[in-house]
Structure 1
Amino acid sequence: MMTCKEKAKEWGISVRTVNALCKSGKIPGAEKAGKEWMIPDGTDRPADGRIVSGRYRKNTGEIPKKPLPVGISDYIRAQSEYYYVDKTLFIREILDRKNYVSLFTRPRRFGKTLNMDMLRVFFEISQEDTSRYFADKSIWKCGQEYRDHQGKYPLIFLTFKDVKFDSWDATFARIAQLLQEEFGRHSELRNSEKLESYEKEYYEKILSGKVNEVELAVSLQRLSAMLSVHYGKAPIIIIDEYDTPIQEGYSKDFYDEIIGFMRNFFSGGFKDNRNLSYGFLTGILRIAQESIFSGLNNLTVSTVMDDEYDSFFGFTESEVHQMMDYYGVTDKEEELKCWYDGYLFGNTEIYNPWSVINYLSKGCLPQAYWVNTGKNEILEDVLKTSTDDISEKLESLLLGQNVVARIDQNVVYRSLAEDPANIYSLLLVAGYLKQVRKKLQGDGTWICEVSIPNREIAVVYKNEILSHLMRIGAMGRATANMIAESLYALDFQKLQDGIGEYMKKSASFYDAGAEGFYHGLILGLVALMDNQYKVRSNRESGDGRYDISLIPRTSQYPGIIMELKAGRSLDELALDRLAKEALHQIGERKYEAEMQEEGISDILKLGIAFSGKNVRILTEKE
């Protein structure tokens, strides 16, 4: 017989996957010895119906399915070479609504760039017949009135998604390069007989890269005018991820410079610009309070709170089902839903597209894919301003509870200093929270119940917010991991040592003393175990209300109930008596009743006593 670890090495897959195959009965002869599966020697790797490296192959040897578009934001490539979720009805919606300038705010990696590139390919005049990229798509079935717009507009396209620099000079230089490239893309203007000489001089100056801030600020306005004259038709302007350099400006201390430039830049391109057919912008934040769109009364904004365009960014439930059916993994839908569903855009349930695609391409392996696509600078910044009330609400969110918050969609980074409660608005629009219920207020804000969307985002809270609540930086991540490992291994002496180490390194005597402090400390530590347990706090069970319980997600783990007591200036004997009192209370008040009702019979009881920086843990098994 061989262990899962040995078989995983032989088959070239993870130990976790081998365990899952054993548990699901897909490995003949596999037997469980204690807590470990044993597999007969010579057993062949079962066909588990998973996708590997972005390409799914049926076990029958049939032609492989299309690969998944991991990181592909080029519409032509995405729709021709990869599995493509058809979002072309977005074009119909735009043409029906006829909004002059539209801003679409959504979290990062929710398909904004791909959608904007789709609009570019559809609308832009091209020497190539680009209609072939839409002939088999939903928009083409909508009628001639929509097809008549295909390939008929001059178009300006800029994406600021990679404009991430530490200084205003470097940022300005990169924006100048992007404008230089876009002007160069319209080389037909260089020898246009319809343009005046001064327009051609300006065109050449942008191409040379030798422009100052004033000259570059009017470049959108000037380029749109030249294109309008040359083609006899006003162009479409698309700005993708417009707020990325603004976020960098905030965190790198050149906020005033970037805001001043963007105000003039957008005003010239979108405000009262008669040389404009449509304008489209995407970003994470609206940033209206800084007057970037000052006087732009023709701007229509679509946010995560609005019903308009709600299904075009991210994947809907039906789209996810079709995708999983295509790859033959519909048995994984519940797991995928738990990890990557949970967003509510308008009134439509939305899955995180980046994570869904990565989950499938990695063989249906649930991980935090989206949160690892970049630095969580928004979280880092807003947590610096959090108050005790906010910390308490963040703790509630960690436990899977809803909290009530006022959501202002016009919030900007600077407003955090004035009102730290704006943290919820930023977290919601950035994708770290979802709105469960909402009610519009007279001033345009919303009162919402918000919660963590899914298990993937819970990982962020565990790693980022938990660090803030617990001040893990003072103790070192290694100590926190030791505590989590001791719970995993049910090594309570190691748990006691780990908590004691944390207390000595990070908790002052002024903090220690009240039972509520210790409750929050333990709650934060056990939240690290959210992959194995559902953590509950202060819940009624039996004849009372327990402090903390850990409900196992699978039967391989025991349930754990914790009762905490605190006293001042206790010697070792008194501390031991207090721990016994806590342990006795669990049994006396039947705190295990809730778990037993859920069918959990293997239950561990922990009586934990604190005094200053000292801790004592006693255990008893049900």
Structure 2
Amino acid sequence: MRTCKEKAAEWGISERTVTYLCNNDRIPGAVKEGKSWKIPDNAERPADKRVKSVNDREPETAAEKKVLPIGISDYIRAQSEYYYVDKTLLIQEFLDKKPLVSLFTRPRRFGKTLNMDMLRVFFEISEEDTSVYFRDKAIWQCGEEYKKHQGQYPVIFLTLKDVKFDSWKATIDKIRGLLQAEFGRHLELLESDKLADYEKDSFSRILDGKANEVELTSSLENLSRLLCRHYGKAPIIIIDEYDTPIQEGYTKDFYDEITGFMRNFFSGAFKDNRNLSYGFLTGILRIAQESIFSGLNNLTVNSVMDEDYDRFFGFTREEVGQLMDYYGFSEKETELKEWYDGYLFGGVEIYNPWSVINYIAKGCIPQAYWVNTGKNEVLEDVLKVATEDITEKLYALLQGQRVVARIDQNVVYRSLSEDPANIYSLLLVAGYLKAPRRELQSDGAYLCEVSIPNMEIAAVYKGEILSHLLQIGAITRSTANMIAESLYTNDLKKLQKAITEYMDKSISFYDTGAEGFYHGLILGLVALMDNHYKIKSNREAGDGRYDIGLIPRKNKYPGIIMELKWKSGLSEEALAALSREALTQIDKKRYMTEMHCEGVERILKLGIAFSGKNVEIEAEI
């Protein structure tokens, strides 16, 4: 066994570097005896960490066809071992435009982290020839003016996508650990003869995890200065999913702490930093109102509304066609399109990449794969603050309609409580809406027609609505199951009982007698009845206008017509009479005419009467 000092002499690096490598389990077989490390005689110097796979795992056995990259955000691994959709022309577009600092805002799981790792591998200086990872890619065919940038810059790379904790202490501890790991990728600085000892000592405080919060806020600025001094070239700084800890701070009540930290953290890295070649950030939202980027006038924002870089996050129609051909599922393209297409980024139609690869990997079984990749806090917050107008528009969206909304891309999460109308902006940037038509306004906002992108997102809406109803106690799981089972078995009496129970529960949780109650009722039924019905309200039929009609999408399900009446201060007997009056009106006004014209013969008629918190339902099958 050798000492750290002996191995340092053998490998031509400092003793401090060898000690760091031992502390971080980078030298196999090293054991600690007291305060010193002992290293096997035949131990080899650890490889350069600046370009290696994030996972550092052994390659998997190659299959006849490359496997799909589910959850792979490591560029080297993705392009060599998996089916890789080539997005390297992002590099060309960036080098053509040369913005100093770029922010890409896209929904989660749309390839942001993989693209940022691709940029890291392309630009980063390395002992390894990393051009081999690009020679068969589109960027290598673009000419020498692009290839000359490959492997020429020191790179600082941080991904904050896993900074999801319940407290500020845990959050800052995680950020400290991420910085420690990133500093550990640049151990060459400890050997540099261009840095002073005090600078190496400061560097070592981050390496050892001893830096306080103030030192952490200036860590990116300091690291960029040291890298610039060592290499004689300013580094590229990449921050992936910058807003994940900010969102957690909002939901977990340490918002002021995280925004205060990030303001200083980013300011040192990107604002007036002479030691910066280029900066890249990704996230879901642009947190401009919180002054996270205060004074950062060199920031170029690329959102879902912008045409720049619109092809590089998510899959295009052509890329999906090639993918389906490769795996032999071309006949499933129509179904895949209905479920996972429909996003509009700039001027390009985009498929959800996470859902597409999961759909193919599961043998083309359509499910809401995207919803399982993270929380849907945006929809949860929307349902909590939804006004009557918003509830009505959500109902229209679920029916496949478009609604007009003002979209402000600078909106933040806490603005929901200030103005619930901001929900459409949040839903759009987070991937829950698309904007087929939009018109830029003088204040920088857009006036848009928005709609739900596809069947997967419609399923997400319905799932969140049902979850909301269960959470507030407006419905029980047994009632929800009863509705689903009665539809499946075509048991109309059981369906009548389930709807009666649903109405009885719901009446206690909505503003009775107000129009908003009826729309809340409709929205709940959409969630409970899944995709079985087209739900319409206040439609002309026969000799009048019915209140609510549920028209089955398949003939095996019954139609449902509801006539609702409300009066205050009614006795139990008078309320029952009012429900019978409502039921009689359905026949008298011939409300069934529309459904009969569509071939629906079996119709469940419900006369529903309200008075205060009391409800009475008269039914006829």
Pairs within 5 Å for 1:398-413: 398-413=398-413
- Structure 2 vs 1, CA of residues 74 and 207 (structure 1 numbering), >3 Å: closer, same or farther? same
Residues 1:192 and 2:192 aligned together:
yes
Structure 1 residue aligned with 2:415: 415
Residue pair 1:484, 1:525 contacting (<8 A) in 2 also: no
Q: Is the 8 A contact 2:542 2:591 kept in 1?
A: no
- For the residues of structure 2 that align with 1:504 and 1:601, how far apart are their CA atoms? 27
Compared with structure 1, are the counterparts of its residues 235 and 586 closer, same or farther at alpha carbon in structure 2 (3 Å cutoff)? farther
Give the deviation of 1:551 after TM superposition: 4.3
Native 8 Å contact 1:592 1:603 kept in 2: no
Structure 1: how far apart are the matches of 2:443 and 2:198?
A: 48
Residues 445 and 523 from structure 1, CA distance in 2 versus in 1: closer, same or farther, beyond 3 angstroms? closer
Deviation, 1:522, is 4.7
| Distance change (3 Å), C-alpha of 1:550 and 1:337 | farther
Please tell me whether the aligned partners of residues 341 and 349 of structure 1 are also in contact (alpha carbons under 8 angstroms): yes
SS of aligned partner of 1:287 = coil
Q: Which amino acid aligns with 1:590?
A: T
> SS in structure 2 opposite 1:384?
helix
Q: Deviations over 1:582-606 (max 9, x none)?
A: 441464672226x53xxx4555353
Deviations 1:279-338 (A, max 9, x none): 000000100111111111000000011111111000111111111111111111111111
Name the residue aligned to 1:447: 447
Of stretches 384-393 and 330-339 in structure 1, the one that deviates more from structure 2 is 384-393
Write out aligned runs for 1:169-568 (5 A): 169-468=169-468, 473-508=473-508, 511-512=511-512, 517-518=517-518, 520-522=520-522, 524-540=524-540, 544-554=544-554, 557-558=556-557, 560-566=559-565, 568=567
CA distance in 1, matches of 2:529, 2:343: 24
1:581 aligns with 2:580: no
2:617 alignment counterpart: 615
Counterpart in the other structure of 1:41: none
1:385–1:517 Cα change, 3 Å: closer
Preserved contact between residue 499 and residue 615 of structure 1 (Cα < 8 Å): no
Between 1:571-580 and 1:113-122, the stretch displaced more is 571-580
Deviates more, 1:123-132 or 1:501-510: 501-510
Query: Bigger CA drift: 357-366 or 541-550?
Result: 541-550
For 2:125, the equivalent position in structure 1 comes to: 125
Judge conservation of contact 2:139–2:146 (CA < 8 Å) in 1. Answer: yes
The question of whether the paired residues in 1 share the 8 Å contact of 2:583 and 2:618 is answered with no
Could you tell me how far apart the structure 2 residues matched to 1:275 and 1:531 are?
Answer: 56
Aligned to 1:474, the other structure's residue is in SS state coil
- Counterpart Cα distance in 1 of 2:510 and 2:420: 25
Please tell me whether the aligned partners of residues 546 and 591 of structure 1 are also in contact (alpha carbons under 8 angstroms): no
Instruction: Give, as a single letter, the amino acid of the residue that structure 2 aligns with 1:154.
Output: P
Instruction: Name the counterpart of 2:593.
Output: 590
Q: In 1, Cα distance between the equivalents of 2:515 and 2:441?
A: 39
Q: CA deviation at 1:559?
A: 5.5
CA distance in structure 2 between the aligned counterparts of 1:581 and 1:471, rounded to whole angstroms: 35
Q: Give the residue type in structure 2 aligned to 1:289.
A: Q
Q: CA deviation at 1:96?
A: 0.4
Task: Indicate how the Cα distance of structure 1 residues 543 and 614 shifts in structure 2: closer, same or farther if over 3 A, else same.
Answer: closer
Query: Per-residue displacement from partner, 1:25-76 (whole Å, max 9, x unpaired)?
Result: xxxxxxxxxxxxxxxxxxxxxxxxxxxxxxxxxxxxxx83211111111111
TM-score of the aligned structures, taking structure 1 as reference length: 0.84
Q: Hey, what does 1:105 align to over in structure 2?
A: 105
Q: Contact between 1:338 and 1:455, CA under 8 Å: does it hold in 2?
A: yes
2:279 counterpart SS class? strand
The structural deviation recorded for 1:163 is: 0.5
Residue 508 and residue 381 in structure 1: after superposition, are their counterparts in 2 closer, same or farther (change >3 A)? closer
Instruction: Provide Cα deviations, 1:461-520, integer angstroms capped at 9, x if missing partner.
Output: 112235547976333232223223323333232223223323433424994457874565
Change in CA separation of 1:181 and 1:516 when aligned onto 2, cut-off 3 Å: closer
What amino acid is aligned across from residue 241 of structure 2 in structure 1? E
Does the 8 A contact of 2:102 with 2:300 survive in 1? Answer: yes
Change (3 A) 1:167 1:520: closer
Aligned partners of 1:70 and 1:453: how far apart in 2?
22
CA contact (8 A) 1:287 1:411 kept: yes
Q: C-alpha deviations, 1:167-199, integer Å up to 9, x for none? A: 111111111111111111001000100112221
Residue matched to 1:59: none
For residues 297 and 584 of structure 1, do their structure 2 counterparts lie closer, same or farther at Cα, with a shift above 3 Å needed? same
CA distance in 2 between counterparts of 1:503 and 1:317 reads: 44
Report the equivalent of 1:8: none
Alpha carbons of 1:355 and 1:482: their partners in 2 closer, same or farther (altered >3 Å)?
Answer: same
1:581 and 1:607 in contact (8 A); partners too = no
Measured after TM superposition, the shift of residue 157 of structure 1 is 0.3
Q: Aligned-pair distance for 1:374? A: 1.4
The residue type equivalent to 1:564 in the other structure is E
CA RMSD of the aligned region, Å?
2.4
Say which is worse superposed, 128-137 or 539-548, in terms of deviation.
539-548
Q: How far apart, in 2, do the equivalents of 1:532 and 1:501 lie?
A: 20
CA distance in 1, matches of 2:205, 2:514: 69
Distance 2:532 2:64 in 1: 35
Report how many residues are paired.
552
The 1:526–1:393 alpha-carbon spacing in structure 2 relative to 1, beyond 3 Å, is: closer
Q: Deviations over 1:254-297 (max 9, x none)?
A: 11111111001100000111111110000001001111111110
Cα distance in 1 between the residues matched to 2:589 and 2:188 = 80
Residues 582 and 609, structure 1, Cα contact 8 Å, conserved in 2: no
**Distance change (3 Å), C-alpha of 1:576 and 1:543:** closer
TM normalised by structure 2 equals 0.84
Cα separation, partners in 2 of 1:280 and 1:519, compared to 1, 3 Å:
closer
After TM superposition, the structure 1 = structure 2 runs for residues 17-28 of structure 1, keeping only pairs within 5 Å, are: none
The Cα of 1:449 is off from its aligned counterpart by 1.2
Does the residue aligned with 2:438 lie in a helix, a strand or coil?
Answer: strand
Q: Helix, strand or coil for the counterpart of 2:262?
A: helix
Specify the alignment match of 2:77 in structure 1. 77
Q: Does the CA contact (< 8 Å) of 2:490 and 2:557 recur in 1?
A: no
Please, which runs of 5 or more residues in structure 2 have no aligned partner?
A: 1-62
Alpha-carbon distance in structure 2 between the residues aligned to 1:276 and 1:481 = 58
1: distance between equivalents of 2:514 and 2:173? 55
Matched AA of 2:321? H
* Corresponding letter in the other structure for 2:149: H
Instruction: Check whether the contact 1:218–1:264 (CA below 8 A) recurs between aligned residues.
Output: yes
1:58 aligned partner: none
Separation of aligned partners in 1, 2:235 and 2:374: 33
| TM-aligned CA distance change 1:575 to 1:526, over 3 Å | farther
Residue identity opposite 1:302 in structure 2: N
Letter in 2 for 1:614: E
Shift of residue 243, structure 1, vs aligned partner: 0.5
Please list every run of 5 or more consecutive structure 1 residues that lacks an aligned counterpart in the other structure.
Answer: 1-62
* Secondary structure, counterpart of 2:239 in structure 1: strand
Give the aligned residue type for 1:208: D
Q: Which residue of 2 aligns with 1:47?
A: none
Residue 440 to residue 466, structure 1, CA distance change in 2 (3 Å): farther
